Amino acid sequence: MDEQAKWYVVHTFSGYENKVATDLAKIVENRNLQDQICEVSVPTETVVEIKDNQRKEVERKLFPGYVLVKMIMSDENWFVVRNVRGCTGFVGPNGKPVPLTEKEIASLGVEKKEIVVNYAVGDTVSIIDGPLENFSGTVDEIDQEKNMVRVTISMFGRETSVELELDQVEPMD
């Protein structure tokens, strides 16, 4: 069933994003619709704010007034989501739901795709994408959660450490 499910954007009253997400999750659980409405997400980012010379990490919504829902679109599911208190409707022409494209999903970072890394710290790798394409270097650090690898390359006779995405490098033969 999960292959048929697509991501949709739901418009909410400002400040009601978390309330809509939790209410929808409760309704899905109570009505046993987990196979129809798979996931509800309120994308956030952690930002450092400096106020009165105090550093403070704050969780901020990426899209205020919107909630992302992965679901199989049907009249019943549309009705369930649409009638959650605080929800004003789906994003799309004339309120008709339009699923997000694969490119939009990737750019939003909603779904984490597991990247299999076939290199380790200390290995020599080749950069295959980005402005440093065709450079080679040594892997210093791998962070699977952040989708990041730190590689030391030799540029203009100097050792330079660069951060790249995991799929931007591959092991050298």
What is the residue-level pLDDT of the chain in tens, covering all 173 positions?
A: 456 889 999 999 989 999 999 999 999 999 998 888 888 988 888 888 888 888 888 888 888 999 999 999 988 988 999 999 999 989 999 878 999 888 888 777 666 666 778 888 999 999 998 889 999 999 999 988 778 899 999 988 899 999 998 888 999 87
Rounded to a whole number of angstroms, the distance between the first and last alpha carbons of the chain is 41
CB-neighbour burial class of residue 103 (10 A; exposed 0-12, middle 13-18, buried 19+): exposed
For tokens 């030799």, name the residue.
Answer: 154
The helix-helix angle for 75-82 and 17-30 (nearest 10°) equals: 130
- Match domain 124-171 to its CATH number in 2.30.30.30, 3.90.1150.10, 3.40.50.1980, 3.40.190.10: 2.30.30.30
Of 44, 47, 40, nearest to 86 by C-alpha is 40
In angstroms, what CA-CA distances link 126 with 34, 75, 121, 157, 168? 43, 50, 14, 18, 9
What span, in angstroms and rounded, lies between the C-alpha atoms of 110 and 113? Answer: 10
pLDDT attached to residue 158: 93
Backbone angles phi, psi at 134, to 5 degrees: 80, 0
Cross-strand partners of 46 = 59
Backbone angles phi, psi at 9, to 5 degrees: -105, 130
**Is 0.85 surpassed by the pTM of this model?**
no
Q: Where are the domains of the chain?
A: 6-108, 124-171
Token reading at 51: 């106020």
- CATH architecture of the region 6-108: 2-Layer Sandwich (3.30)
Chain center to CA of 111 = 5
Contact 147, 154 (CB under 8 A): no
